[in-house]
Structure 1
């Protein structure tokens, strides 16, 4: 880290991400926050006294609201002394540090959003952050003034793992690599990937069928599985084959490379949830056992990637990007993104840069898909009628056959389930930016009409969780309603927001930030939007369809016992344990 200020920022982010049991908060008639123990549902009350139920918030061991303790008072005193200026008239959410222990950060950010509005300053000791929960302001940062911001804290955390990959890269390297990588996710490549999605998903369903057959022989017709772990294995296999033509085979086997990949994923999660960045201490990488293991895991993966890059370069068929995009990918032995990057004329990159690109896609692509499938099943299991509706569509479109690209277009309800899961459980729940120069943010809905001036170096959290569950931009924002994406919605009271209009992005398979005018940002928006969004969405759609085609799924235990934790993504503390049965009414 370059400065003590950056160190403070990173430590704060890691502190805020400490995982634990979630908490259900509600407001009473006086507008005061309360805490419910083991509730099946909890409610938030907005300024118009409309109640919005929250889907299955998590339990806590605390029965009463916590009184502000010495740590909180000291933090707020330090805030007043050191960070009172620089952000003008922006509302301030004083830092109740104790609120951050025992539950994910995004729950607290939501509480403060309801209390302080869509743009507020979150101040902890000497450091202040701006929290954005408004699509008008998010659009300004992500699209209209995108190159005035970089990834800030996020880059500090991810650089040791992803190097100069797209996510942590500074603007100069990002512009260079984006021009090379984005064309690789073209339509013919995505069509070819559907076969990889189905092949890998079929491995999972065959594994489940074999486990069920074993149980049938013992007189039982059900198996219990941690579907989050199964989805994690499936996502790893798909990324391996689709991005760098390597078959991890993690659904059915283990290998040193697979163990190293998961070790690296766990370390990335650890670094985003541990509030002291001890790994930056000199010699820590050699003295601390888990850091030695991490370095060894990285070496195993990098050696594997280096070999794949070497093989791809030895068989290079250099050509122009237009011709690469017109290849017959359905009949290519190697249709991977790595093959595209290596063959692209005029886009030479050293092995280290290619390795960083692949590592970034491996970690980012794996995490997102596993999480969206986990929460899709979690939500469907609580809504049996919607699961039956999904299975009816699958029976009509697929029958007993496999998904193809053309058939995927007809699985409308399955696609909507995937995006609704991403709305309720965005991956990641926060987008992080840092102002490279001074700027004036729009006030947003109900904010200051003159906007808010921010100085250079301001760290910003764009809370996707708040945006996606905002009572101002969504009807019944905390309810699981996939059908909502089919309906046009405009709030005339909100000046500067164009509303939700599916016709705004004709031909789009999935709702996006254009259709919602930045109220829905599962993959970000603007120039630095995730390049692999369609890959991840289509992969999730195929995997979900093939699971529901063969099996009925229910949660093993009560939904309230599924505890949330968060680091890079929102996931479960102890897995998503489900009961699977062969479908009895398959047509």
Structure 2
């Protein structure tokens, strides 16, 4: 069998990843219970943390994992009730899993949780489906399309600005606005137009689709930590109110997406990839990614697969951007000196916001706004989206030591949590890890105490943001390795455009103490109760 590839470009069509059978899972489950709660000697070598059920089920699990990480180190085994997970929070170990041996792992529990929502979409898809769909999707994010999307980002953010202006006018000079809700709305409108050519119009009205999506994601989070999969029982979707609501919401979402696919298929297009990537998108009636996918789809790609792709991009494409904008503004509002520097950079690049007509940055201006982009990167460091990556071992994988001393092996069938929250706040990898400091990304940092870790090197930044290469896997805002998010550049362009347009025009003040802004976990980290801000014109 060929060696497992580490990047998408290295994929050999003859490569077949390891498979995991039901016997493997049952055998491992019994072994883990005996090793954790009985007298059988542990085969994996990891320290065991018996987690508090109240900690792990009563709130966001990523918060509960951080104190365990500080106590037990970058690799430990978390056991609560019958569930056992290996928790990884060390950059050297994470590099081994995501880059060196990505195909020794499946999405495991994550795929099981997301399958009812995303089906065979890019995030939960098994290897065979993922390989084919990634090759179809990646060309869609080409330079000409991204250039055109920057204009779309500005158009949608302009509608956000007009709505904020209206709120301020009604409030005689200022208004109290839930900025998380506004960022969710504008990012949904952007993803709707960019991916589906569909106007959700959520900046001007409440969207039933987005309510359905949020409810489904909350159900996914519920299923990830509940002890028993009662939702698989016969008639659960009829007798259990939350499961009945989940079914109704999924029906609404599926009807909408299937309608959009049929609409896109009604137009004739070209299948020539080079022609598609050299389009003048300003003259294209439907510049959406769906239109691109319909044009280049192969005979073996079904409407169902297109639906799964769209659902994945709807969730991943809008949730992440809304969350990073929310937490970035939350952090900036607590540091007035830093906020002033960010606003000064925006004014220097775009000019002061004179007049009533808002203007949007172009691609070149976004590239020049380095501090704005680093603030977004720092928000992703402190509030990673998602805060946990989930994998399942398909073969035994010995782990490198990194910052620890134990000889640990991930056993075939073991479920693994990669705690991005812990990794991004690792005290051995970041100076003052809990401080919001975007300028950290301009300074090199090394720690010989983390064996085989190259440290952080700002000279390696090659795109819009520092990434896993720059930090040697201590910073993975869009994942890493072969299954890294393909929409990272799209997301950074979108977030930079929206943040620049709002900060150029408005002052923001917290209306409650920062410590009162709690966190909830869906697909990303949400605030608990919104982010109410006092908004005034500059």
Q: CA deviation at 1:226?
A: 1.1
Quick one: distance in 1 between partners of 2:451 and 2:234?
Answer: 52
Quick one: distance in 1 between partners of 2:469 and 2:193?
Answer: 31
Match of 1:376 in 2: 328
Match of 1:535 in 2: 490
Q: Map of 1:65-76 to 2, 5 A cutoff?
A: none
Q: CA deviation at 1:77?
A: 9.3
Quick one: distance in 2 between partners of 1:82 and 1:569?
Answer: 39
Quick one: distance in 1 between partners of 2:183 and 2:227?
Answer: 29
Question: Are positions 1:418 and 2:373 aligned together?
Answer: no
CA gap 1:542/1:86 in 2 versus in 1, 3 angstroms? same
Q: CA deviation at 1:215?
A: 1.7
Quick one: distance in 1 between partners of 2:26 and 2:523?
Answer: 19
Q: How many residues align?
A: 511
Q: Return 5+ residue gaps in structure 1 as ranges.
A: 11-74
1:480-510 Cα shifts (integer Å, max 9, x gaps): 100111112222343311221122243x111
Match of 1:318 in 2: 270
1:211-265 Cα shifts (integer Å, max 9, x gaps): 111222xxxx221111111111111111101111100001102354454444434
Q: Return 5+ residue gaps in structure 2 as ranges.
A: 1-20, 354-358
1:437-468 Cα shifts (integer Å, max 9, x gaps): 111111212333xx422220011111111111
The alignment's TM-score, normalised by the length of structure 2, stands at: 0.89
Q: Is the 8 A contact 2:57 2:226 kept in 1?
A: no
Q: CA RMSD in A?
A: 2.5
Q: Is the 8 A contact 2:401 2:451 kept in 1?
A: no
310-319 or 472-481, larger mean C-alpha shift: 310-319
CA gap 1:259/1:421 in 2 versus in 1, 3 angstroms? closer
Q: Map of 1:212-361 to 2, 5 A cutoff?
A: 212-216=168-172, 221-272=173-224, 276-344=228-296, 346=298, 349-361=301-313
Q: Map of 1:168-187 to 2, 5 A cutoff?
A: 168-187=124-143
The structure richer in helix per residue is 2
CA gap 1:265/1:440 in 2 versus in 1, 3 angstroms? closer
Match of 1:554 in 2: 509
The alignment's TM-score, normalised by the length of structure 1, stands at: 0.82
Quick one: distance in 2 between partners of 1:523 and 1:104?
Answer: 20
Question: Are positions 1:404 and 2:362 aligned together?
Answer: yes
Quick one: distance in 2 between partners of 1:468 and 1:537?
Answer: 18
Q: CA deviation at 1:582?
A: 0.7
Quick one: distance in 1 between partners of 2:42 and 2:102?
Answer: 25
392-401 or 117-126, larger mean C-alpha shift: 117-126
Quick one: distance in 2 between partners of 1:128 and 1:262?
Answer: 28
Q: CA deviation at 1:269?
A: 4.4
Match of 2:418 in 1: 462
Q: CA deviation at 1:195?
A: 1.1
Quick one: distance in 1 between partners of 2:348 and 2:475?
Answer: 30
Q: Is the 8 A contact 1:189 1:325 kept in 2?
A: yes
Q: Is the 8 A contact 2:393 2:413 kept in 1?
A: yes
CA gap 1:160/1:345 in 2 versus in 1, 3 angstroms? closer
Match of 1:496 in 2: 452
Match of 2:42 in 1: 85
Q: CA deviation at 1:519?
A: 0.5
1:488-539 Cα shifts (integer Å, max 9, x gaps): 2222343311221122243x11111111110001111000111111111211
Question: Are positions 1:365 and 2:317 aligned together?
Answer: yes
Q: Is the 8 A contact 1:133 1:462 kept in 2?
A: yes
CA gap 1:408/1:417 in 2 versus in 1, 3 angstroms? same
1:285-304 Cα shifts (integer Å, max 9, x gaps): 12233333332322222222
